């Protein structure tokens, strides 16, 4: 399980955490508060969003939530 951190260094807000994936898996609702970010696992919508990020040069980090 993991949270998704999307890096946006050229914007005034430098990163977003994914709060929800929108229909079509090409956009998301974001938050700057990690506690509001949703925890995900590899599913079709999540994979589609990450593939979209990769194909459009959008950088992201998967933050492991299984660590103690």
Within the chain, where are the H helices? Answer: 44-55
What mean pLDDT value characterizes the chain? Answer: 93
pLDDT at position 66, please?
A: 83
What does the CA dihedral 51, 34, 21, 41 come to, rounded to 10 degrees?
60
Percent of the chain with pLDDT over 90: 87
pLDDT of residue 65: 93
The model's pTM: 0.90
Residue whose C-alpha is closest to residue 42's, from 30, 59, 25: 25
pLDDT, tens digit (0-9, with 9 covering 90-100), for 15-24: 999 999 998 8
Taking the C-alpha atoms of residue 64 and residue 52, their distance in angstroms, rounded to an integer, is 21
């Amino acid at each position: 399980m993991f949270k998704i951190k999307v890096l946006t260094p050229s914007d005034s807000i430098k990163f977003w955490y994914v709060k929800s994936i929108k229909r079509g898996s090409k956009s998301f609702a974001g938050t700057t508060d990690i506690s509001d970010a949703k925890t995900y696992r590899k599913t079709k919508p999540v994979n589609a969003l990450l593939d979209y990020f990769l194909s459009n040069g959008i950088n992201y980090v998967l933050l492991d939530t299984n660590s103690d």
